[in-house]
Amino acid sequence: MTFLNYLLSGISLGSIYAIIALGYTMVYGIAKMLNFAHGDVIMVGAYICFFAVSRYHLPPVVGVLAAMAVCTVLGIVVERLAYKPLRAAPSLAVLITAIGVSYFLQNGAQLLWTPNPKVFSSVVGTGRLALFGGQLTVSYVTITTIVSCIVIMIALTWFTGNTKMGKAMRACSEDKGAAQLMGINVNSTISVTFAIGSALAAIAGVLLCSAYPTLVPTTGSMPGIKAFTAAVFGGIGSIPGAFVGGLLLGMIEIFAKAYISTQLSDAVVFAVLIVVLLVKPAGLLGKKVSEKV
- In the chain, count H helices and then E strands: 11, 4
Q: Among residue numbers 191 through 230, which ones bind other proteins (CB under 8 A)?
A: 225, 228-229
By CB under 8 A, tell whether 244 contacts other proteins. Answer: no
Interface with other proteins by CB under 8 A: which range of 61-69, 193-201, 239-247, 261-269?
A: 261-269
Among 216, 219, 39, 220, residue whose Cα is nearest residue 113 = 216
Residues 19-38 that bind other proteins (CB under 8 A): 28, 34, 36
First to last CA, the chain: 55
Stretch that binds other proteins, among 11-19, 158-166, 238-246, 271-279 (CB under 8 A): 271-279
Among 101, 190, 215, 216, binds other proteins (CB under 8 A): 101
181 binds other proteins (CB under 8 A): no
* Residues binding other proteins: number (CB under 8 A): 45
Antiparallel, parallel or unpaired: β 118-119 and 214-215: antiparallel
Cβ of residue 281: shortest distance to other proteins, in angstroms?
6
177 lies in the binding site for other proteins (CB under 8 A): no
For residue 110, give the amino acid letter. Q
Q: Given candidates 86, 136, 138, 258, which one binds other proteins under the rule CB under 8 A?
A: 86
Nearest Cα residue to 288 out of 243, 226, 244, 241? 241
String of DSSP letters for 109-149? HHHHH-SSPEEPPPTT-S-EEEEGGGTEEEEHHHHHHHHHH
Q: What whole-number distance in Å separates Cα of residue 247 and Cα of residue 95? A: 26
Taking CB under 8 A as the binding criterion, the range among 96-104, 137-145, 154-162, 177-185 that sits at the site for other proteins is 96-104
The answer to whether 279 contacts other proteins (rule: CB under 8 A) is: no
The yes or no reply on residue 104 touching other proteins (CB under 8 A) is yes
Which residues, in sequence order, are CB contacts of 229 under 8 Å at separation 6+? 245, 249, 269, 270, 273
Taking CB under 8 A as the binding criterion, the range among 127-135, 150-158, 169-177, 280-288 that sits at the site for other proteins is 280-288
Alpha helices in 182-264 (DSSP H): 186-211, 221-234, 239-255
Using CB under 8 A as the binding rule, whether residue 77 contacts other proteins is answered as: no
